[in-house]
Structure 1
Amino acid sequence: MTLVLVLVVPALAFPWGAAAVTRRLARVLPPREACWALTAAALLMAGGTIAALVGLFHVPFLASLEHVPLPRVLEVWPAAVPAAVAAGLVMLVQAGLLLRRWFRHRAVLEHAWQLAAQGTCDGDVVVVPGNDVDAFALPGYRGRGGRVVVSSGMLRALKPGEREVLLAHERAHLSGRHHLLSVVVDLSTAVHPALRSLRESLGFHLERWADEAAAAAVGNRKLAAAAIARAALAGSRERNTSRGYPLLSVTTGPVPQRVEALLLPEPAGLRAGTHRARVLGLAATVAGSALAALALAYGLHEYVEYAAIGVRGD
């Protein structure tokens, strides 16, 4: 039992520390690289958690494959069946949460497309009438291409140059397919609670990625900063509470930090030495999670083998 706990507990606890390391890594990477690092880490940690639970769940079945009677397994590890049942229940809860989140994402898309149908389409931009101050990137759905949805109220709140920034920002979300990254990380939070912090961090860096793209498109970082600040202030009066993943908007995230970043020079690549150190840090995180999952599977198999040898010896 001690060996199994030594294998399972670290595998399930690993994401708490790895999430903190990944968030720190994201803070020193350029926005695009930070987003990919956060998404990859979330996938890896979710996969490692599932591998640990599946391995624990399969202990009685592995024993049967090794022709070890269940009473013998319980003699060696009395908690084998309760632990397997607990792992199975956790996986059922995870599956339920994943389905719930997935259907919520689809419902948000359905509602957003219904809203877009009420507006006037001009190329990839849909202008929705009304006094609400809102704008968001609407991903493609059921054969329809992505759109930038903006309300008349938002257009009135911005100056002409600022409107260009707004549209460039939302188009960057669409062209970069940022909604896919956000959905992947949001779904991963159903697997392990430690990954919720990665979802928050990813939201900020996705907005920073789109901010930098918008600033580059208009060629004026100060104008981009002013447009984002004005859009956020105007939009804060009326929030559309029905929005959420997978929709992304210029008015979300910690706006003061985003504006401050735009008032600084464009982020460049890290110095070679620092970059290598950060990459090695992420690689160590990846390797640690992979080794934990492999060690778990191997250790459980060896544990059952040990029980089989004991039975044969008897």
Structure 2
Amino acid sequence: MTIVLVLVALLLALPWAGAAVAGRLTEVLPPRWACWSLAAAALLLAGGTLSALVGLFHVPFLASLERLPISRVLAEWPAAVPIACAAGAGMLVQLALLVRQWIRHRSLLKRAWSATEGSTGEGDLLVVPGREVDAFALPAYRGRPGRVVVTSGMMRTLKPAEREVLLAHERAHLAGRHHLLSAVVDLAAMVHPAIGRLRGALGFHLERWADEDAAAIVGNRKTAAAAIARAALTGSSGSRADGYPLLSATSGPVPQRVRALLLPEPVAPQGGMRQAGALAMGVLVLAVAIGSLTLAYGLHEYVEYASRRLLGTPSGCSGLWGALEGLLGSGTG
């Protein structure tokens, strides 16, 4: 059992290191690459965590498949069933958190769409009457296509060129389906707390991605920077568009976004830096994938080896697992 616990402990601890590596990697990547890297890392880290819990939950069942009586399992591994129950309880908690977060997502979308009643507009633009200063990208909902929602207060606040930046920014969110990337990381964070550290980074890079698209459309980075700054300064406090699943030009660390727009357009890192970033992400991907496969295969092989040992029958893999047990301690813990 020691070997099983070591494998699972490593896989459950991996998201803390993986989230740190992914966060540092995105600092040297253009916004688009950073967003996709964060979403991929979140999915892989969540998958590795789930595989660890599923593997622990299946230990007693794997033992029964090897025709090993559960009483004998408990005699040798007293913690087998409690650990399996704990893993099952952990997965139930994760399921409850995922369902709650999904309901929250749908509820927020419903409220946002309800808030657009009485709005006017043309094409993908909806202008909501009122003095509130707000703007956000509203994803598709129940057959209704995505829309850019802007209050009349925001429209009056911005100059014509700045309005163009704001609308281009929100349209970039819709065109890039940024709410889906945000949803992936937000839901994956319900599986392991370490993944939650990626949500802030993703939110920032999603806004930076839309900022860069807007700046490219208007053809003036300084105008884009001024529009983002003005919209954020005049935006209503407690905006309904703070984060997942709605995305707003006024959210995130605005000073850093404005500063980035005043610099040259970011490009993919070249040479050694690009290779180092690719290598870091490759190591993360391989670590999670190999860890998941190793756990799934290793648990079955270890239970088979242990059952043969307990039943007194020879096992072809006893040398390998026996050596590992010798290094890690007794398998009865």
Same fold (TM over 0.5): yes
CA distance in 1, matches of 2:227, 2:191: 37
> Corresponding residue for 1:277?
276
For residues 23 and 241 of structure 2, what CA distance do their matches in structure 1 show? Answer: 28
Structure 2 Cα separation of the partners of residues 5 and 194 of structure 1? 20
What letter matches 1:147 in structure 2?
Answer: R
Provide the rounded CA distance (Å) in 1 between the counterparts of 2:277 and 2:216.
26
Displacement of 1:313 in angstroms is 1.2
The residue aligned with 1:42 is 42
Alignment deviations for residues 198-252 of structure 1 (CA, whole Å, 9 cap, x no partner): 11100000000000000000000000000000000111x4323575421000010
Structure 1 spans left out of the alignment, 5+ residues = none
* Moved >4 Å (runs of 4+): 241-244
| CA-based RMSD | 1.2
Matched with 1:251 is 250
Q: Write the distance in 2 (CA, Å) between the matches of 1:36 and 1:157.
A: 34
The whole-number CA distance in structure 2 between the counterparts of 1:241 and 1:109 is 10
Structure 2: runs of 5 or more not aligned:
314-333
TM-score normalised by length of structure 2? 0.92
Over alpha carbons, which structure has the higher Rg? Answer: 2
- State the partner residue of 1:116: 116
State TM-score, norm by structure 1: 0.97
Offset of 1:303 from its aligned partner? 2.0
- Structure 1 position 81 matched with structure 2 position 81: yes
- Alignment-derived partner of residue 197 in structure 1: 197
CA distance in 2, matches of 1:258, 1:179: 19
Any idea what the Cα deviations from partners look like across 1:38-68, whole Å, max 9, x if unmatched? 0000000000000000000000011111111
Deviations along 1:57-114, whole A, 9 cap, x unmatched?
Answer: 0000111111111122122221000000000000000000000000100001111111
User: How many residues get paired?
Assistant: 313
* 2:187 aligned partner: 187
| 1:309 paired residue number | 308
Structure 1: how far apart are the matches of 2:95 and 2:24? 30
Residue identity (%): 66
2-structure distance, mates of 1:114, 1:166: 22
Matches within 5 A, 1:82-231: 82-231=82-231
Which amino acid in structure 1 is aligned with residue 155 of structure 2? L
Q: Separation in 2 of the partners of 1:121 and 1:77?
A: 67
- Specify the SS of the correspondent of 2:295: helix
Q: Would you say the 8 A contact 1:108–1:244 is kept in 2?
A: no
In the alignment, the residues of structure 1 paired with residue 186 and residue 10 of structure 2 have an alpha-carbon distance, to the nearest angstrom, of 23
